[in-house]
Amino acid sequence: MSTTTVTQSVPTAETLLRLFPDIDTSSAELEGHDAEQIRLMDEVCIVLDNDDNPIGTASKKLCHLMTNIDKGLLHRAFSCFLFDDQNRLLLQQRASEKITFPDMWTNTCCSHPLGIPGETGSNLPDSVAGVKRAAQRKLDHELGIKKEQVPFEDFHFLTRIHYKAPSDGKWGEHEIDYILFIKANVDLNINPNEVQDTKYVTADELKALFNDPKLKFTPWFKLICQSMLFEWWENLDSGLEKYTNEQEIRRM
């Protein structure tokens, strides 16, 4: 199938309504949630077919309602793993205000490239560039990490993971998730509306955290840890290139 690069001029509502005529567009599910998090639900995600080709855009809210996910609505995301000079991974605990997966521990930063210039892409190289720019934007927004400390060229793209996961009865994820690694020493200035805690861990410390019944982890982070994370981590300083730029999408 032919695809076009998604820009803001795409007639997105028509495209989506044609593909998903019974899409749930109500806003009742947002009642009672944090005002800033409700505002962020208006951000425009990139809607995909199963092969990561953009087919339109839709709000973050529409993309994360289980009623729409169950109809096949799929969007692009990224998961960034930031390591310090001791090869410790920076974890974050999501804020209680978050609408999806609140209070859960996860990797450094997980979010979405948006349907805006510089973050879209209809081929893999452009899409990878888009998620790297999105990662810089969100590392700053969530953790106060300035772009200068995480240069574009220092991000390594490893692979894409296609997965589906419910958060609660109403919300969930259905994403093609781009995995990014970066090694950098950074200064944190945490946005408490996004993140309630952070922690640097070694691989062994992370494995121990998984055995703590009091802690909850996001489903995508658990998937990545159970599949390839520890092998990638072992090769962070030598041999990582054999895992980078994987062309096939991993289906979880």
State the maximum Cα–Cα separation within the chain, in Å, rounded to a whole number.
51
SS3 track for the chain: CCCCCCCCCCCHHHHHHHHCCCCCCCCHHHCCCCHHHHHHCCCEEEEECCCCCEEEEEEHHHHHEHHHHCCCCCEEEEEEEEECCCCCEEEEEECCCCCCCCCCEECCEEECCECCCCCCCCCHHHHHHHHHHHHHHHHHHHHCCCHHHCCHHHCEEEEEEEEEEECCCCEEEEEEEEEEEEECCCCCCCCCCCEEEEEEECHHHHHHHHCCCCCCECHHHHHHHHHHHHHHHHCCCCCHHHHCCCCCEEEC
User: pLDDT per residue over 148-192, tens digit each?
Assistant: 999 999 999 999 999 998 877 788 899 999 999 999 999 999 999
Cβ pair 62, 42 in contact under 8 A: no
Cα(29)–Cα(152) distance, integer angstroms? 36
The domains found in the chain, sorted by start residue, are 12-251 (3.90.79.10)
The answer, yes or no, to whether residue 225 has pLDDT greater than 90, is: yes
The answer, yes or no, to whether residue 233 has pLDDT greater than 90, is: yes
Identity (one letter) of the amino acid at 59? S
Residue the block writes with tokens 């720019």:
133
pLDDT of residue 170: 86
* Paired tokens of 63: 């993309």
User: pLDDT per residue over 122-149, tens digit each?
Assistant: 999 999 999 999 999 999 999 999 999 9
Cβ pair 88, 201 in contact under 8 A: yes
Residue 45 falls in the annotated catalytic set: no
The answer, yes or no, to whether residue 10 has pLDDT greater than 50, is: no
Choosing from 29, 142, 173, 175, the catalytic residue is: 175
Choosing from 29, 110, 119, 173, the catalytic residue is: 110
Pick the more confident residue, 252 or 112.
Answer: 112
User: pLDDT per residue over 93-114, tens digit each?
Assistant: 999 989 888 999 999 999 999 9
> Hey, which of 20-34, 46-60, 134-148, 206-220 has the most confident mean pLDDT?
134-148
Q: How confident is the model at residue 219 (pLDDT cuts 50, 70, 90)?
A: confident
pLDDT of residue 36: 74
